[in-house]
Amino acid sequence: MAKASSPNLVETLLETAKARRTGVLRFECGPTKKQLVLQSGIVTFAESNLREEHLALTLVKLNLLNRNQLPEIAALMKAGRTADQAILASSKLDVAGLDRGARELAVVILASVFAWSEYETHFYAGEGLVRRQIDLHMPLTELLVMAARRAVSDHLVLHRFGHLRGTVYPAEKRPENLLWFPLNSAEAFTLSLVQEPLPADLLLSLLPAGEGKPEELIQRLALLGLVRLEAAMVAPDAKTPAAPYADITAEQLEGLLCQFEVASLYEILSVKPDASDADIKQAYHDLAKHYHPDRFQSEEHSAALRSLVEKLFTHITGAYATLGDPAARAAYDEIRLKKESQVEAALQARAASNSEHEKMADTLFRAGRFSLSRGDFEKAIKELKECVWLRPGVARYHHYLGLAESEVPRFRKEAEQHLLRALELNKTGVESRLALSKLYLKVNLPRRAEIQLHEVLEWDPDNTEALGLLSRIADDDPAGSKIKPQRSHKF
């Protein structure tokens, strides 16, 4: 298996196409494996071991397949069917729709390989190495150009170009036949201008805005090896210390991934929603300096850590792809603001509901206390239970419910739980401790009562009721210790 890098990806694919090879061309970067299946130099399909680059998920993203059909597809694949067979068997999708998804997947996969600075490549020769029902009949050079466009438009290779500056040169070794490349008119015009070295600023000024941004047209040609950029990578600021890549742990990356899963695109880039385009671009560059997968390709970093970095950087590039494009950002902001207004409305509705609950609970509480004062304990229990259900975090509701339940033998276990809950909510609740000690005395647990009474005296040393109850306990058991372990008792 040979080492390779992004600059010679084009050369590898052109040689494969020229030789009209049949087999599987595989690219590996750590645990990630992606491959093109070829027939006489023509792409039949592409696949990857990344879940997000599965054919079924690609069709979902294209709105050609419903997400709720994925479990059935997975079950069919476990039973031995290929992805395309399972999709056709479990959905109404026709072969044309399947072909569209497979083409999109091939472009996505090869575009992502452009983002790798180093990887391993190998060619497995032979026919029928991988079974598939579809055949894209897609020339390698066509896929190559489409993937270069996607890699640039999705900002997957921004770290290799940065801001265009310096000089644009004709490629030192252009492909033998430029007609192999199905360039569009804007790309062909840009290439025609680079017959001799040109300052990047001058070249940009000569390019009209048409089938692509002028800067992106140059980047596409550079990826395809048709032009060469001088000093394409922006040199880091000498005053900026090198990022401590070796200090980044898998735990830190997993934590960031968890945050990114629920964060807004602005939060991912750590910018405010009103940030300028320059601020967004700078934020992306700063994150790329720390988390670009190229920084973690050495042997000192584990394959698992590299995989985490790749997932993290996917979030970062995705955020920049949207926020870095004015139209996409405007659409995202519209959706974001709509969701925020819905959340605000939900919060307001919840606040109104909470206010209603508070009023109802307060009314029931007053009724419960009145019933308690009249000795109607069963009614008081019913009314005070509804208070606790409406507002379980109010100590006084639990306290008075415990008082009412203490008077009814079958509810005394529940009475203990509510009085203890009242003390959890209000640790200085002397009245609740007194009520609890009286409950323990009712069920013949004097030692537990004694513990609570001593707690009362810690808060209120002159509490006459607590002193009287302690005196009563001492009179009933003059030989007993003040506090000693008790046998378990049942209420």
User: Can you give the CATH number for the domain in which 382 is found?
Assistant: 1.25.40.10
Q: Is the same domain home to 316 and 424?
A: no
223 belongs to a structural domain: no
Q: Is the same domain home to 353 and 310?
A: no
- Give the per-residue SS3 of the chain: CEEECHHHHHHHHHHHHHCCCCEEEEEEECCEEEEEEEECCEEEEEEECCHHHCHHHHHHHCCCCCHHHHHHHHHHHHCCCCHHHHHHHHCCCCHHHHHHHHHHHHHHHHHHHHCCCCEEEEEEECCCCCCCCCCCCEEHHHHHHHHHHHHHHCCCCHHHHCCCCCEEEECCCCCCCHHHCCCCHHHHHHHHHCCCCEEHHHHHHHCCCCCCCHHHHHHHHHHCCCEEECCCCCCCCCCCCCCCHHHCCHHHHHHHHHHHHHCCHHHHHCCCCCCCHHHHHHHHHHHHHHHCHHHHCCCCCCHHHHHHHHHHHHHHHHHHHHHCCHHHHHHHHHHHHHHHHHHHHHHHHHHHHHHHHHHHHHHHHHHHHHHHHCCCHHHHHHHHHHHHHHCCCCHHHHHHHHHHHHCCHHHHHHHHHHHHHHHHHCCCCHHHHHHHHHHHHHCCCHHHHHHHHHHHHHHCCCCHHHHHHHHHHHHHCCCCCCCCCCCCCCC
Of 106, 127, 156, the position where a domain reaches its end is 156
Of 156, 191, 209, the position where a domain reaches its end is 156
Q: Is the same domain home to 355 and 457?
A: yes
Q: Is the same domain home to 316 and 371?
A: no
Q: How many domains does the structure of the chain reveal?
A: 3
Residue 400's pLDDT is what?
94
Q: Is the same domain home to 46 and 141?
A: yes
Residue 346's pLDDT is what?
62
Q: Is the same domain home to 301 and 380?
A: no
Which structural domain, as residue segments, surrounds residue 310? 258-324
Q: Is the same domain home to 126 and 12?
A: yes
Predicted TM-score of the model (pTM): 0.50
111 belongs to a structural domain: yes
Of 275, 292, 324, the position where a domain reaches its end is 324
32 belongs to a structural domain: yes
Residue 462's pLDDT is what?
86
Residue 83's pLDDT is what?
84
Q: Is the same domain home to 9 and 119?
A: yes
148 belongs to a structural domain: yes
Q: Is the same domain home to 452 and 413?
A: yes
330 belongs to a structural domain: no
Q: Is the same domain home to 312 and 383?
A: no
Q: Is the same domain home to 357 and 465?
A: yes
Residue 488's pLDDT is what?
36
341 belongs to a structural domain: no
pLDDT along the chain (491 residues), means of 10: 58 88 89 90 90 87 88 86 85 87 93 83 79 82 92 77 74 65 85 85 77 82 86 41 52 77 85 89 84 77 83 88 87 80 61 70 87 90 88 90 92 91 84 92 90 87 89 73 41 46
68 belongs to a structural domain: yes
360 belongs to a structural domain: yes
CATH code of residue 262: 1.10.287.110
Q: Is the same domain home to 45 and 135?
A: yes
